[in-house]
Amino acid sequence: MINISINGKKIGLEGPATVLEAARRHGIDIPTLCNHPALELWGGCRMCVVEIEKMPRLQTSCTVMAADGMTVYTETPRVVAARKSVLEFLLINHPLQCPTCDKAGVCKLQDLTVKYGAVAGRFEEGKRTFPESVDDPLIVRNMERCIMCTRCVRMCDNVQGAFAIGVVNKGTRSHVEPFSGGRYNCEYCGNCLNVCPVGAIMSRLHRYTYRPWQMDKTVKTICSFCGVGCTQLLEVRSGAIQKVSPVFGEGVNKGLLCGRGIFGYGYVGSPERLKTPLIRKNGVLEPAEWDEALALAERKMLEIKNLHGGRAIAGVAGGRCTNEENYVFQKLLRAGFGSNNIDSVARLGLMHAQNLLEDIFGQGAAANLISGIPRSDAVITVACDPTQTNPVMGLQVRAAARAGKKVLTVGHAHGLRRHRTHSLPAHIGTEGMALAGLLSELLKIKKLPGENPEFEAAIKNFELPRLEEVETYTGVSAAMLSGAASALKDVSSSSIIAGRELAAHRDARRNLMLLAAIGYILNSRFFLISEHPNEQGLIDMGCAPDTLPGARPIALQTFRERYEEAWGVKLDPEPGLSLMEMFEQAGDTVRAMYIMGENPAFNLPGRKMVKSALGKLDFLVVQDIFMSETAAMADVVFPSLAWSEKEGTYTNLEKRIQKLEKAIEKNPEKKVFLMEDWQILMEIGKRAGLNMPYTASSDIIDELARLSPLHAGLGYGDLAETGMMWPYKGKPLRMGGRIPALPVSRAEAPSKEQALAPVLVLDKPLFHSGTLSRHAGPLLDIMAEAEAKLSPETGSVLEVTDGAMISISTAEGEMALKVKFEKGLPVGAIFAGNNFGEAGALGLFGYELEPESKTPILRFANLEIKLETGKL
Amino acid sequence: MTRYLIPDACIRDIGEYEKTGGYQGLEKALSMEPGQVVEEVKKSGLRGRGGAGFPTGMKWMFAAGDPKFPKYIVCNADEGEPGTFKDKALLKNNPHILIEGMAIAAHALKAETGYVYLRAEYPKEKEILEAALAQAHEKGFLGENIMGSGARLDIQVHRGAGAYICGEETALIDSLEGKRGQPRLKPPFPVNAGLWGKPTVVNNVETFANLPFIMRAGAQEYMKIGAPDCPGNKLFSVSGHVEKPGVYELPMGITLKDIIYDHAGGIKNGKALKAVIPGGVSAPVLPPDKIDCPMDFVSVQKWGSMLGSGGVIVFDEDTCMVQVAHRALQFFEHESCGKCTPCREGTGWLRAILERLETRQGREGDIRLLEDVSRNIAGNTFCPLGDGAAMVVLGFLKHFKEEFSEHIENGCPYGRTGKRPDRPAPVQ
């Protein structure tokens, strides 16, 4: 116990703390400028000086550690005089443009000047000047206002790990500049402007549009872009989001945001949003009344059910919809339409990976705290780049690297190239084979822990390839493998982050078994990349052909009966069709589909097949906020509400349930009447005679809490602050131990021609995700068009230059893309994202189904790359 | 008087150096346990010659006591203090003494890598030093298995990029790591977490150069030289209005008067002494009645200034003190790194006020303002650079306030802005 006294108040401290922290914890405010809880200590601004007995000089409270017996005074005349002088110094060169500065009102310098500053300055010489920089589309820099607290630079270097900005020059001529010059060439995490205490670095998105005090409200909610589930603050005025800002120290993200999270909200206010229900009349979608559209949807679905049976209807749930909506969705499909043909994007890999890990280790095998990543001795990423798909989780990996932990990347992980300590750069798609090599090396030097004899027996039976085989197939040398293994030798805890592609693979089972084995040996916590904000929720809400809410099998009679009793209907015990099967059987056994918040016509491989499947349906209902490629093919389209306009919950990749708060009331004057997804579903369900007595989304969670053992007793009241982690209020269902018997297949070494052939890779860029981000202006400013990213080496092999237009064609389709050289990408790989309408790269991919889990595996055939002449 | 730092004739050849007893100190050190070497240096009472005068043996003891390895030794050769050019003289005239000193330190601290952070403006010295390093390698005083002892040491020369602040040891380390050179937060001190976070001893060129003698002659002999609290010889860089400016190797504790009049030949052209800065520009100025001040770390402080780097700058009766202060503040403004507020903003403000005074735009209250601003800087900065700047201004004001007032009333009496021009008639 450290006992100190601050302003006469006796304070006892449990652990080490700075005087500033100690004071703040006990409600004593000490003003600061350069200090920030997310950043390392700096001590530059000198604002936080205090007087400490027995120390002749004033001390910066932000850097001095509290020591037993210390007596501190925070507001003595000497301290106040020093603060006054610091402010006087700062204002020498700080322009007094508060009336035209967007920061006014939330500016720390302004606030402190009001509190401590002099009435008039004594500095009569000219101030330094810097031209305003508006070279960047998103970030404006006014370096005259900079007070050199360097929070932005410390954030960029030490937290974001992007090293994109720095202080140039010395003394009063110091200012902050991106190394790329005027325009930023960075990750656009926006954290630099979030930590700027003055108006030196600001967002251009809402420039000169409002004053901070004019905001109607600020709403703390969860981000809508990926499965991390970051807490963010929406600042709302006149029914529109004006700004997204972080809440430092709070949420899964502790206040850090990524480019999508901070700049991507614009889609909500897009004029392209759907405003009324649409009904196809004479082949054209025409606006219709809600009643007419709801009645039509209900009538047609029941007609098809009566004619062909419930199994003729299929539904795709939405990874961006809430748990409540997905629950109601599967209830409507199962209880209302009599169909188990329910699936979602979780089929693309997450579900399979999770199921297999849970089979071995028990439920919740991948429910781990993201904040624990930097605390483990080693972090291994496999077939994923968390810094792009789940950026804030990626930051935790970088934090681990910064803390001196081992970071091993298996496969390509561009965003970790400067942070990893070891890498196994396996060719794209051969990461599993590299894991086999790593495992065999690990087994040589590390003992099995002896906790799970059954699994250990399985591991011992693995038929592992020889290292030479691994090298021929993956390109990873034996030396690299043994190097990585010996780096992991003394690891006592680790984190493994695995991408979807490991499960969307011909050898998915082998890959995941190897992953599990390595994780078992290294005492790992698993994290599965989740590309959608509620991908986990889809699984837990029973939006799968074979499970009910609570993620337990529908085939289980006792479990099924629970729901039958509650819903008052008999349920089909047979599992339904999986995602791709629904489309494959469209027009045949599947006659109608209901799609909520998903865009299969764009977001799935085999686009030609999916589109023609949608065309073959007798009836298609789509709920969406935009006229997506899928909605354009529908018979009835319902406009729904976006994430910031509704209440509900998301389950993130940690299996943490978090609550969304409604920031925007969409129907204030009923000019545009829109409903939340669950309300639309409920209206149809009620018409079909289902018992759906919901007046608010909380009623749905209450029903779930009554029925799903996983969610037993859960309510919104439990979700305040940081939400609730698995296993919520219950106990884990089973302890795992179902070890799938499996011989590890030996991959055949590819021929030399095959190994050198260019490969097409589905890129997941940091600045876009799916189809929402193309309606977010600022994200388009950062990345305006589809790109084919490749390394300069690949460029020279293909004989294309940076910026050239190339046409890429496969058996599935053809598209023109602009080449963008990016150093460090694997040779031979062409990265193309699926984010832009005309050039969605999934249109180039076919697929095959992984037989066990029906996960579609991306395939491309007859790849040809041609330089488009005349289009340079 | 024993001189052991700078020989009469320049010695760059290793053979010549050995003839004068060179590398015998290293040989002696290698015959001792590292701990004994540290103890011997502690006993010698050697104080760091970079300016702060911190006991070298203590510094070593802290670093040697840290369990972390590897440890590093760094030679601070970023001689940037205006009025200081002693390290340059050492490097030019006796490069092997630095190498020998570093090798002794490396043995004492069990360090295997040393860096010389060399001032950017010393390209010639870099060549000389690198040639000497090559010779030392060849002769087996550096590299693997030094003199058959099993010890090893490599020394690399790193040129700075011209920032004064990189003479501050933590800024130097940041710069050496490839970062922007700015002082680091202390603690942790470099002896525990210096270069790459490892225990690091940073010593000045002259400090290292004292080691061969200490080892060769022993701490006892060494303590017989110089002042009781500050033993050894000191290199004084004497510049300004003296007949014989240059670098003088003299025992610690010699008076300022002796340095100026006995060794440097007195004031140029027989003029009168007006002021002297005893320890480089960062040291407050002393008036002529203080030239009996003994030149060692303890005494100069008592007499109201600092020994600093031993850069003695002498001003004759025709020198304008405002101009000197202005020139000094120009330097501090330019060299302020920008990390902390008072130094970054304050040095420029002081410079601006002094500039006004010097260009006949002084106003009533300016002296008060100078004092105020200086006091607001002093004691509130992150590192001693800002303190130094403020103390310089306060020093000039303490001893030459009337000259400042004179500037406000009548302009510069030394004709810097024209010889006492008539003031323009006040605007009606």
Cβ of A170 within 8 Å of Cβ of B382? The answer is no
A92 contacts B341? CB cut-off 8 A: no
Strands B200-204 and B72-77: parallel
- Residue A160 C-alpha, separation from nearest chain B C-alpha, in angstroms: 17
C-alpha A73/C-alpha A80 separation (Å) is 11
Q: Which two tokens stand for residue A207?
A: 């420039």
Whole-number percent of chain A with pLDDT over 70: 96
The tokens 């015990």 sit on which residue?
Answer: A573
Q: Which helix (H) or strand (E) covers residue B251, if one does?
A: strand B246-251
How many other C-beta atoms can be found within 10 angstroms of the C-beta atom of residue A615? 12
Please judge whether A172 and B352 are an interchain contact, meaning their C-beta atoms are less than 8 angstroms apart.
no
The DSSP string of A65-108 is BP-TT-EEESS-HHHHHHHHHHHHHHHHHS---GGG-TTTTS-H
CA B394 to CA B284: how far, in whole Å? 8
For residue A870, what pLDDT is reported? 53
| Cβ-based neighbours of A778, under 8 Å, separated by 6 or more | A137, A138, A205, A263, A264, A266
**Which residues in chain A are contacts of B376 at CB distance < 8 A?**
82, 85, 88-89
Show the tokens assigned to A61. 């409270």
Q: Which residue reads 């005068």 in tokens? A: B53
How many Å apart are CA A609 and CA B169, to the nearest integer?
A: 68
Cβ contacts (< 8 Å) between B381 and chain A: which residues?
46
**Of the candidates B295, B268, B249, B214, the residue with the CA atom closest to the CA atom of residue B38:** B214
Report the distance separating Cα A329 and Cα A327, nearest Å: 5
pTM over 0.90: yes
Q: Which of B165, B333, B345 sits opposite A89 (nearest CB)?
A: B345
Low-confidence ranges of chain B (pLDDT < 70): 416-428
Angle between helices A508-521 and A453-461 (to 10 degrees): 120
How many angstroms separate the CA atoms of A401 and A422, rounded? Answer: 11
Encode pLDDT of A6-50 as tens digits. Answer: 999 999 999 999 999 999 999 999 999 999 999 999 999 999 999
Mind listing the domains of chain A with CATH numbers? 2-75 (3.10.20.740), 102-269 (3.30.70.20), 278-348+576-725 (3.40.50.740), 352-528 (3.40.228.10), 752-867 (2.40.40.20)
Choose among A42, A63, A172: nearest Cβ to B345.
A172
Contact A167 B180 (CB under 8 A): yes
Query: At A401, which helix (H) or strand (E)?
Result: helix A391-402
Supply the pLDDT for residue A868: 79
Q: DSSP of A8-43, one letter per residue? A: TEEEEESS--BHHHHHHHTT-----SS--TTS----
Distance CA B59, CA B57 (A): 5
Query: Alpha-carbon torsion A453, A454, A459, A462, what sign?
Result: positive
DSSP secondary structure letters along B13-43: SHHHHHHTTTTHHHHHHHHS-HHHHHHHHHH
A232 SS3 class: strand
Chain A nearest-CA distance from B333, in A, is 7
The pLDDT of residue A774 is: 82
A241: which strand partners? A236
Query: CA angle at residue A859 from A858 to A861, to 5 degrees?
Result: 160
In this structure, is the dihedral angle defined by the CA atoms of residues A774, A776, A779 and A780, taken in order, positive or negative? positive
- How big is chain B by its Cα radius of gyration, in Å? 23
Say whether pLDDT at A793 is over 80. yes
Contact (CB<8Å) B376/A90: no
**B379, A57: Cβ pair inside 8 Å?**
yes
Give the residue from A528, A431, A447 showing the smallest Cα distance to A481.
Answer: A431
Predicted ipTM of the assembly: 0.93
Question: A314-361: per-residue pLDDT in tens?
Answer: 999 999 999 999 999 999 999 999 999 999 999 999 999 999 999 888
- The Cα–Cα gap between B172 and B200 comes to 12
Contact state of B185 with A63 under an 8 Å Cβ cutoff? yes
CB A715 within 8 A of CB A335: no
Mean pLDDT of chain A: 92
Whether B114 contacts B75, CB under 8 Å = yes
- A727 has pLDDT over 50: yes
Is residue A871 scored above 60 in pLDDT? no
Q: Looking at residues A108-135, what average pLDDT do you find?
A: 91
* pLDDT tens, position by position, A558-589: 999 999 999 999 999 999 999 999 999 999 99
If you ran DSSP here, which 8-state letter would residue A586 be given? B
Residue A669: CB atoms within 10 A of its CB come to 6
* Residue A373 pLDDT > 90: yes
Burial (CB count <10 Å: 0-12, 13-18, 19+), residue A334: buried
Tokens of A267: 């889609």
Residues in B whose CB is inside 8 Å of some CB of A read 163, 165, 180, 185, 333-342, 344-349, 352, 369, 376, 379-382
pLDDT in tens, A260-290: 999 999 999 999 999 999 999 999 999 999 9
Distance CA A771, CA B286 (A): 75
pLDDT band at A745 (very low <50, low <70, confident <90, very high): low
CA distances from A405 to A367, A381, A487, A614, A750 (A): 22, 13, 10, 49, 35
Report CB contact under 8 Å: B338, A148. Answer: yes
How far does CA B318 lie from the centroid of its chain?
27
What CA–CA distance (Å, rounded) separates B276 from B260? 10
pLDDT tens per residue across span B206-242: 999 999 999 999 999 999 999 999 999 999 999 999 9
Q: Which residue of B has its CA nearest to A82?
A: B376
Q: How far apart are CA A140 and CA A157, in angstroms?
A: 20
User: Looking at residue B61, what is its pLDDT?
Assistant: 97
Q: Identify the CA nearest to B319 among candidates B287, B345, B348, B350.
A: B287
Q: Residue B310 has what pLDDT?
A: 96
| Cβ A234 vs Cβ A222: under 8 Å | no
Nearest-angstrom CA–CA distance, A496 and B303: 65
* CB-facing half-sphere around the CA of A770: CA atoms within 13 A: 23
Residue A754 confidence (pLDDT): 63
Min distance B374 CA to chain A CA atoms (Å): 11
Domain architecture of chain B: domains with CATH: 14-223 (3.40.50.11540), 233-316 (3.10.20.600), 321-410 (1.20.1440.230)
| Amino acid code (one letter) for A489 | K
The stretches of A617-671 forming alpha helices (DSSP H) are none
Return the H-helix or E-strand segment holding A817: strand A814-821
What's residue A756's pLDDT? 62
